A and B are shown apart, each in its own frame.
Chain A
Amino acid sequence: MAGTAYGELLDAVRGIRWPARAPVRAALSGTHQSRQRGTSAEFNEYRLYRQGDDTRRIDWRLLARSDRAYIRLATDRTVLPTLLAVDGSASMDFPRGAGSKWDFARSIAVGLAGVAHAQGDPVGLVVAAKGRVELEPRSRRSVVWEIGRALSDVEPGGTAAVAELLKGRSLPPRLVVFSDLLGDLGSLYQVLRAHTAAIGEAYVVHILSPLELDPPERTVLAVDPEDDRLRRPLTVQSRGAYLEAFARWREEAALGCRSSGATYLTATTDERPDRTVRRIAGGDR
């Protein structure tokens, strides 16, 4: 089912490369440049032999010609385990039904999972919703299907925060957060700072609805889906102030995420998911 639902998207994102933003500290052979210089065939440079270096890596031919001991350095390729963290709180279920922020977030999560898996990276999933969903990063063939199925089974709701789900757990080098950021931003910044400080890379994909960016001009009583007590009339008079406050908050959120070392991207639900995936993989800010 998941494969059928996301098949078109996965076809569209096939061939997209999602390179690591920095050399990766990992041992397994993969497609990403490793921070380790190894013995692979991909020669990089020579370096003078230093005591302690493996003598097997000395280029004996160069030693014979130059009477100096050099060792060959080659770039290792490794895998980049990736964790997709999707916000499944009640605020993501907007507008209700098809075309919601939740629908869009899970589509691009599956698309990114397909991209990562295609280049051999283990992919995992955590979802902060009514019921917690956690899939450790795996490289097996069915992992994209499993992620798609898990996301399809989740019903958004509640007030669970992604940051709380990520806190205290061992995170893989690459972390992608799909959220509307309406939860506890301070906690998220902490998680991001801790992750990026530990040579990981993080992406924050800010999911927005066009209705939030351009609310209806008729008078409505806006009710926060995560806090029923928060009710405010959205009128023609208050609309301008709302737009201004919302834009200011988005700027602050972008600044906070970037200050925390994460790559911040916004994505609106009226965008094609494969294009969003392409933007994320390409590091488009």
Chain B
Amino acid sequence: VSWLAPWALALGAAGMVAAVVAHLLARATPEPMAFPTARFIPMSAASATRAARRPTDLLLLALRIIAIAMIAGAFAGPIIEPRVRGNALVVIVDRSGSVADSAEVGDSLASLTSERGIPVSVVEMTTGATSALIAARREAARLSAEADSAELVIVSAFDSSMIDVATAAVRREWRGAARLVRVGARPTGTVGVIIDASSMADDDPLLATIRLGGWSGNAGAPRTGRGVKVVRTNTISSADSASAEGGATVVHWPATTAEQSRAARPRSAVAGTLVLPLLADTTSVAAGDRVVARWENGAAAASVAQAGEGCIVDVGIRPVMSGDAPLREDFRELLAVLAEACRPQFALGALDSAALAMLSGEGGSAPLGSMRTAGAATERISAWLLLAAIAALLVEMVVRRRVAA
């Protein structure tokens, strides 16, 4: 048995001691003595405080102590824990886009669950580790009826995008270690991506960027099987839309926009969205389904609109047509982000060792008693204890009246 409010037990113990002391020192009826001139004694209750030489009315004392104990027990919130039933398994599986091959996740999950005949609960992580850990804790509370401890396993590519500022605090709520099972991550950058630059002019500065990035021609077959096409016209043709419907990424980056004095270099990334420095002649685009790049003032610089199996990336960033900007690394990164925009999240790289240590935690399996919520069972036990206390007090009242009589 464990208690939700153990301090109530301490209070109850103090109350019982006080009851015993009060019983010994209480207003006991003094020894009766025939006294003819009793009428001259002032009127008062026919009892007086005196210390008992030995306890009397033990039944009364016992009933009072029982009542106090019951009340203290009711307020302490007893939780009757079942007998030891072993360990459970809570598995968080990464279903986000950072995992290269979902089949590998399935294989890992199968190997985890097949090797032991214990209760297993699987939590899918799609948006991040925080929500997955919260869900895992909820599952652990549910499993507390079947096991007394739970092991947490996280099957993930451990991409840095899976954690946020709240993850560490939520992770601490799981009072045990977590076993980290790493699966293959989706490659970062645009390795294997082929950008179709057939519609681009030969002097298009973006062409130099594409070539420098190794994304043109037969640089390699994309693992996803999806190509990227950059459209530099002001409007998208029906053929381009059809390509998008077929699964391609169409980057609509009009070339007729005015030149800028300097390049829009990405400054930072927040939750998967590039933030670009605000330019004097900033052009915004419609928000689309998802914004992949924003200006510093919050306006969308590039957005993704889902189109069938693929997507269309509408870009409002105006590249310089002269200078070395298209040849620089940061510009290539910008293009890589746009080329990868159709993916649910673009990868920001693997978690560092500190973050992995935070996720791994310390200790062994987490005890489920601490995660168990005070449910109806606790309330029922408390109610019964209160009823028993009331019954004891009623009996005490009857006995006290009989003793007084």
Contacts and interface: CB of A to CB of B under 8 A. Distances in A.
Chain A complexes with chain B:
yes
Interface string B23-50: 0000001111111111111111111101
Interface string A84-97: 00000011101010
A183 to B, nearest CB: 11
B33 to A, nearest CB: 4
A231 interface: yes
Given A212-B37, A233-B48, A235-B48, A220 B42 contact: no
A76 interface: no
B41 A96 contact: no
A220 B40 contact: no
A92 B33 CA distance: 15
Given A238-B44, A249-B40, A233 B35 contact: no
22 contacts: A92-B36, A94-B34, A219-B30, A219-B31, A219-B48, A220-B30, A220-B31, A221-B32, A222-B37, A222-B38, A223-B34, A225-B36, A226-B36, A231-B38, A232-B43, A233-B46, A238-B41, A238-B42, A241-B41, A241-B42, A242-B40, A246-B40
A44 B38 CA distance: 55
5 closest residue pairs by CB, A with B:
A222-B35, A91-B36, A222-B38, A232-B41, A245-B40
Interface string A191-224: 0000000000000000001001001000111111
Given A219-B50, A221-B46, A233 B41 contact: yes
Interface of B: 29-48, 50
A242 B37 CA distance: 9
A182 interface: yes
Contacts of A94: 34-36
A180 interface: yes
Contacts, number: 92
A73 interface: no
User: Which of A92, A101, A180, A215 is the most central at the interface, judged by chain B CB atoms within 10 Å of its CB?
Assistant: A215
Contacts of A92: 36
A245 B42 contact: yes
Contacts of B31: 219-221
A230 B42 CA distance: 11
B41 A234 contact: yes
Contacts of B30: 219-221, 233, 235
B39 A231 contact: no
Contact of B32 (A90, A209, A223, A235): A223
Chain B interface secondary structure, helix, strand, loop or mixed? loop
Contacts of B48: 219, 233, 235
Nearest to B48: A233
Contacts of A221: 29-33, 46-47
A220 B39 CA distance: 14
B41 A222 contact: yes
Contacts of A234: 33, 35, 38, 41
A41 B33 CA distance: 61
B42 A222 contact: no
A28 B50 CA distance: 65
A269 to B, nearest CB: 12
Contacts of B42: 232, 238, 241-242, 245
Contacts of A225: 34-36
Contacts of B35: 94, 212, 215, 220, 222-225, 234
A231 B36 contact: no
User: Which of B40, B43, B48 is the most central at the interface, judged by chain A CB atoms within 10 Å of its CB?
Assistant: B40
Contacts of B50: 219
Contact of A220 (B32, B43, B45): B32
A222 B33 contact: yes
A230 B38 contact: yes
Given A219-B50, A221-B29, A221-B46, A230 B34 contact: no
Contacts of A219: 30-31, 48, 50
